[in-house]
Amino acid sequence: MRRSDLKLTMDSFDNIREIPHGSFGRILIANQKPEYNTVAIKVLPYNTDKDKRVADQEIQLLKAAQSRFIVRFYDQFTDPINIYIVFEYCRGGNLCLQIQVLNIMDQKTKIFLGRWYTFMMLSGLKHLHSLGIVHRDLKPENILFDQYGNVKIADFGLALKMASRSYAPAVGTKMTTKSDIFSFGLILAEMFTCEHPFAGRTHEETVSNIKNRRMKPLPASVPDEIKTMILSSLNMDETRRPSADELLSYPIMREEAEQYPLSQQGIQQMIVEDSLKAKLFVLKLHQRHHF
């Protein structure tokens, strides 16, 4: 995206609409003038010292984390009460919606896409963790997809640098990269089974199920290596959880790295400019069922 030399304001955008967003802040979708590129805008309060500290940290970490597996930061601006973070609009929606799509797909396609998404999520986590960044809010709603189906990790509102020695408010334990791995294990299980592995009738029951290890059995349809990745990531002893790098070393993930050279070029660099050809390229990938 080409930036303007002029200072951004809300007048720099047209066709502004708000989309549902469960986390702190508001999310707007808009067309940025003069090119009318579609962007997303996160609106956060910027009144108090605490507001500024929280928002500035989110922006700082998002800027530091930039990679092809992280939602792209474009710009920021303020008015007397808010700060506006302009970033990449991911047309493909989030993993929460994609899990619903996976649920109606045939098993072969579900596994194919699940492996591809897993590889990209882990690549994004490996990048974050190599920078000492803990996301702390990894969940399907924060795993986005661009128009080509590439995974983009988003929402750094709770992220932190490990050196800050923050603690999880609910349990009082130090937050480390292994906290993200546990969340990844939950996402992985849900992606391949289309249900939360510890789901209860209420949020409190779900939390109790996690604490007491009352996990639903993984169905036989889940590939054995994926089962191993899920169970090891959900180990209650965080010292025994693998790192993102170790999970990427599994043969099933090495195959993904070989089939889709994301680690060298990025899938967007492999796609020609023409959007129709790009869609056909992704369709061909979806039709290649190499298991």
pLDDT of 188-210, one tens digit each?
999 999 999 999 999 999 999 99
Mean pLDDT score across all residues of the chain: 84
User: Residue 87, SS3?
Assistant: strand
pLDDT higher at 280 or 161: 161
Domains along the chain with CATH numbers: 10-88 (3.30.200.20), 93-281 (1.10.510.10)
pLDDT score for 20 = 76
Say if CB 153 and CB 133 are below 8 A apart. Answer: no
pLDDT score for 270 = 38
Please write the tens of the pLDDT for every residue from 127-142.
999 999 999 899 999 9
Length of the chain: 291
What stretch of H or E contains 256?
Answer: helix 251-259
CA distance 193 to 264: 31
Q: Which two tokens stand for residue 189?
A: 């299980």
CA distance 51 to 24: 11
Which amino acid would we find at residue 39?
A: V
Q: What's this model's pTM, rounded to 2 decimal places?
A: 0.82
pLDDT at residue 265 tops 50: no
CA 171 to mean position of chain CA atoms:
24
Least confident of 93-107, 122-136, 170-184, 271-285: 271-285
Please write the tens of the pLDDT for every residue from 173-183.
567 899 999 99
Question: Using 50, 70 and 90 to split pLDDT, how confident is the model at 274?
Answer: very low
Please write the tens of the pLDDT for every residue from 60-87.
999 999 999 999 999 999 999 999 999 9
CA distance 288 to 43: 41
